Amino acid sequence: MSTNTTASTIEQRAYGYAASSFLTFVGEWDSAEKHYEAYTKLLEHYNDYAELDDNIALVWQPFEQGHLDDLLHQIDDMAQAIIGQVEQSLADVKSGLVSAAIDCELPDDYRDLDMKALAESGAESTT
């Protein structure tokens, strides 16, 4: 397992969320904004010492008996699935936006864009 110092915002959020699904972050790390940073610190500690640093996070009880490598792979798998779904949603929004632009259906004020409707429209046009 290695840490990625150039992770996108989407990757950081996905890994932070996935990690928080298996771990309880403690102390200064107990805020969603810090979960990715905490996860990367855990990986660094794990790579150095083959154990998790319980000053950063604790493993949820249902996963305590498992092997740490398996747990880290589950976090990675979940994060990759989240990233895939977000990227697909962004592609759907882009497709809907392009269609709306071609059909001259964009609002004069882009703050009025309905991103959910654009995603739905884009998803329908790609199926």
pLDDT at position 2, please? Answer: 45
Q: List residues bridging with 59 in a β-sheet.
A: 23
Q: Tell whether the model's pLDDT for residue 104 goes beyond 60.
A: yes
pLDDT at position 4, please? Answer: 54
State the DSSP H helix or E strand holding residue 58, giving kind and residue range, or none if neither.
strand 57-59
Tens of pLDDT, residues 83-102: 999 999 999 999 999 999 99
Q: Which residues contact 57 (CB under 8 A, 6 or more apart)?
A: 19, 23, 24, 25, 26, 29, 38, 42
In whole angstroms, what is the distance from residue 69 CA to residue 51 CA?
Answer: 10
Tens of pLDDT, residues 17-68: 999 999 999 999 999 999 999 999 989 988 888 778 888 888 888 777 778 8
Structural domain boundaries of the chain?
9-125
Q: Is the pTM of this model over 0.75?
A: yes
